[in-house]
């Protein structure tokens, strides 16, 4: 009898210890999910735009209209290769390569330029009509929504740049400057259209092409055209509204994708593809990781806690939104490390997969500020180069310092987006430059014989000043 009591008592103690251990283990894993986060301030707001005032419908009509070398394989492109400099060796690998050289100011082919402009006449008309309308707003971001229109809008930047160079070469420099400014306006409109990340990225790319065309036209234009361009760019001063809206649009897509992932409607790969764009093609190794993550999610729900994951991303997004206007050096970096991710398939960590997904999303959101910095630098440098050229033509000499351009040509010397200090300039070196992402000023990067600077942005982006 005593033995029976002893074994019963031992069994009870074992069960009690197991229960306590299980409860402790469950508590360590976090138990259930967190309450739903209060993140309504992170979602985008949309103001209805009357159809007759919205230029987006006209941009949609660009689909299939933009014709460029490398697009339709059945469309032949005539070329007569002519180097920009006498005696220059031109590696012509076809019209696509030649078009790149033309847009960089390193070659020109009149026949190819004429063909591009002739085949894109209707596209140029639609762009002009779209820009004539007071607003441009794309549809509200939605999972799986088609964004095929961005391909032709992105292609339109090449057409506008070719037209700018062609007009300037024909002696119609004022019209050439206006065509380059059209690309700048189109890009800015698209970047500020309250759409998703893809709209912002395409918009910044289009604007960058317009700014590059303006810089290449600097030696050809006179004081009147320079003042016109400076006035137009002053009215287009950069603000972070477009990027803020794009980040909020991405957060909207992320939360919807996360909810569908948790309910089993989406796989991990599908969620990332739908929220980050259809171009996400994982390697075989990545695909294997995605599949194992999906398996873990379905069998171990504690590895994915949607509310906790959403809170992690929301907290990081708030920091990004607050710091967008700060120079790169003053912003908080490596926000994704706050998720504490060590491995995406750690089955012993509460929300292990959710933390990995948050890490991925936050890292991509942080990368969104890179094109913002690059665009600010290109925009500011273009204004400075235009102002220096105008001063050179009117005063007969280059300015000793950028401060001499204020207030006649610039309201203030633009800041370097990386350290917040004024952009650097050397009259002797004929350069305007930024310290770059490494924040170390080495006196500007080395320019090639063609005046171009190509190293990475952490090695002092540099622009040539025309003597």
**DSSP letter (8 states) at residue 136:** -
293 lies in some domain: yes
Three-state DSSP class for residue 341: coil
Q: Are 275 and 248 in contact (CB under 8 A)?
A: no
Q: Is 338 exposed, middle or buried (0-12, 13-18, 19+ CB in 10 A)?
A: middle
Q: Which residue has the higher pLDDT, 129 or 456?
A: 129
pLDDT of residue 444: 84
pLDDT of residue 156: 95
| Pair (203, 164) in one structural domain | yes
| Pair (293, 271) in one structural domain | yes
21 lies in some domain: no
| Pair (359, 451) in one structural domain | no
CA 333 to chain centre: 18
Query: Which of 208, 250, 154 lies closest to 376, judged by CA?
Result: 208
**DSSP letter (8 states) at residue 463:** E
Does the pLDDT value for residue 25 go beyond 50? no
Query: Which of 162, 135, 122, 117 lies closest to 51, judged by CA?
Result: 135
Q: Which residue has the higher pLDDT, 169 or 90?
A: 169
pLDDT of residue 22: 45
pLDDT tens digits for 47-91?
888 888 999 999 999 999 999 998 777 778 887 765 444 444 444
Residue 23 pLDDT level (bands cut at 50, 70, 90) = very low
78 lies in some domain: no
Across the chain, what does the average pLDDT equal?
83
Q: Which residue has the higher pLDDT, 95 or 295?
A: 95
Taking residues 264-276, report their average pLDDT: 66
For 151, residues 6+ apart whose C-beta sits below 8 A from its C-beta are 63
Residue 120 pLDDT level (bands cut at 50, 70, 90) = very high
Place of tokens 């959710």: 354
**CA gap 258, 269 in Å, rounded:** 12
pLDDT of residue 452: 62
| Pair (44, 192) in one structural domain | yes
Mean pLDDT lowest for which of 33-47, 141-155, 165-179? 141-155
| Pair (283, 211) in one structural domain | no
Q: Which residue has the higher pLDDT, 289 or 374?
A: 374
How many distinct structural domains can be found in the chain? 3
Peptide bond into 407 cis (omega under 30): yes
**CA gap 28, 349 in Å, rounded:** 8
- Nearest-10 crossing angle of helices 352-367, 369-395: 10
| Pair (289, 152) in one structural domain | no
| Pair (255, 345) in one structural domain | yes
Structural Rg of the chain based on CA atoms: 28
- Parent domain of 467: 369-467
Residue 289 pLDDT level (bands cut at 50, 70, 90) = very low
Mean pLDDT lowest for which of 281-295, 346-360, 450-464? 281-295
Q: Are 197 and 249 in contact (CB under 8 A)?
A: yes
| Pair (363, 377) in one structural domain | no
| Pair (357, 383) in one structural domain | no
pLDDT of residue 16: 60
Taking residues 165-177, report their average pLDDT: 96
Q: Looking at the DSSP assignment, which residues form a beta bridge with residue 464?
A: 431
pLDDT tens digits for 3-20?
666 556 666 565 566 554
| Pair (168, 231) in one structural domain | yes
105 lies in some domain: no
pLDDT of residue 31: 56
pLDDT of residue 28: 45
**What would the 3-class secondary structure string for 272-288 be?**
HHHHHCCCCCCCHHHHH
| Cα-based distances in Å from 198 to 147, 188, 250, 292, 386 | 8, 14, 9, 29, 30
Secondary structure element (H or E) that encloses residue 8, with its range: helix 2-28
109 lies in some domain: no
Taking residues 326-334, report their average pLDDT: 92
- Find the distance separating the first CA and the last CA of the chain, reported in whole Å: 108
Helix ranges (H only) for 104-172 are 110-119, 121-132, 149-169
| The total number of residues written for the chain in this structure | 467
CA quadruple 193, 196, 200, 202: dihedral, nearest 10: -110
Which tokens is 38 given?
A: 């209060």
| Pair (249, 350) in one structural domain | yes
Residue 415 pLDDT level (bands cut at 50, 70, 90) = very high
**CA gap 282, 285 in Å, rounded:** 8
| Pair (350, 442) in one structural domain | no
Last residue of a domain, which of 178, 205, 238?
Answer: 238
The backbone region for 79, taken as left when phi is positive above 0, alpha when psi lies in -120 to 50, beta otherwise, is: beta
| Cα-based distances in Å from 450 to 183, 211, 300 | 24, 18, 60
Across 198-344, where does the E strand assignment appear? none
16 lies in some domain: no
């Amino acid at each position: 009898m005593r033995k029976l009591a002893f074994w019963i008592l031992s069994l009870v103690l074992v069960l009690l210890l197991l229960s306590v251990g299980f409860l402790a283990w469950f508590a360590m894993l976090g138990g259930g999910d967190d309450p739903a986060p209060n993140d309504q301030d992170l979602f985008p707001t949309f103001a209805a735009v009357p159809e007759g005032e919205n230029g987006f419908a006209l941009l949609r009509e660009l689909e299939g209209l933009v014709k460029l070398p490398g697009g339709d394989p059945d469309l032949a492109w005539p070329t007569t290769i002519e180097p920009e400099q006498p005696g220059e060796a031109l590696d012509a690998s076809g019209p696509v390569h030649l078009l790149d050289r033309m847009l960089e100011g390193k070659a020109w082919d009149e026949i190819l330029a004429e063909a591009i402009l002739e085949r894109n006449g209707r596209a140029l008309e639609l762009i002009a009509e779209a820009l004539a309308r007071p607003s441009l707003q794309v549809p509200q971001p939605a999972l799986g929504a088609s964004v095929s229109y961005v391909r032709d809008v992105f292609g339109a930047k090449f057409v506008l740049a070719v037209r700018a160079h062609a007009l300037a070469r024909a002696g119609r420099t004022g019209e050439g400057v206006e065509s380059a400014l059209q690309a700048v306006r189109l890009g800015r409109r698209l970047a500020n259209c309250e759409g998703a990340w893809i709209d912002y990225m395409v918009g910044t790319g289009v604007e960058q092409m317009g700014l590059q065309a303006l810089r290449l036209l600097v030696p050809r234009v006179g004081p009147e055209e320079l003042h016109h361009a400076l006035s137009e760019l002053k009215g287009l001063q950069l603000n972070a509204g477009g990027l803020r809206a794009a980040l909020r649009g991405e957060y909207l897509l992320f939360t919807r994708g996360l909810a569908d992932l948790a309910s089993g409607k989406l796989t991990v790969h599908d969620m990332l593809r739908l929220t980050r764009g259809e171009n996400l093609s994982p390697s075989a190794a990545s695909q294997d990781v995605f599949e194992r993550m999906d398996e873990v999610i379905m069998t171990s729900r504690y590895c994915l806690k949607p509310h906790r994951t959403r809170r992690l991303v929301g907290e990081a997004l708030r920091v990004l939104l607050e710091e967008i206007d700060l120079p790169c050096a003053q912003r908080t970096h490596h926000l994704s490390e706050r998720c504490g991710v060590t491995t995406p398939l750690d089955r012993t960590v509460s929300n292990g997969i959710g933390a990995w997904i948050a890490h991925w999303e936050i890292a991509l959101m942080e990368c969104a500020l890179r094109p913002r910095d690059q665009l600010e630098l290109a925009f500011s440098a273009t204004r400075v180069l235009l102002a220096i050229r105008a001063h050179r033509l009117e005063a007969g000499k280059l300015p000793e310092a950028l401060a001499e351009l204020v207030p006649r040509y610039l309201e203030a010397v633009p800041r370097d987006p990386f350290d917040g200090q004024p952009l650097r300039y050397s009259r002797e070196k004929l350069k305007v430059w930024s310290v770059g992402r490494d924040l170390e000023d080495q006196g500007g990067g080395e320019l090639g014989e063609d005046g171009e600077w190509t190293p990475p942005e952490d090695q002092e982006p540099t622009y040539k000043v025309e003597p």
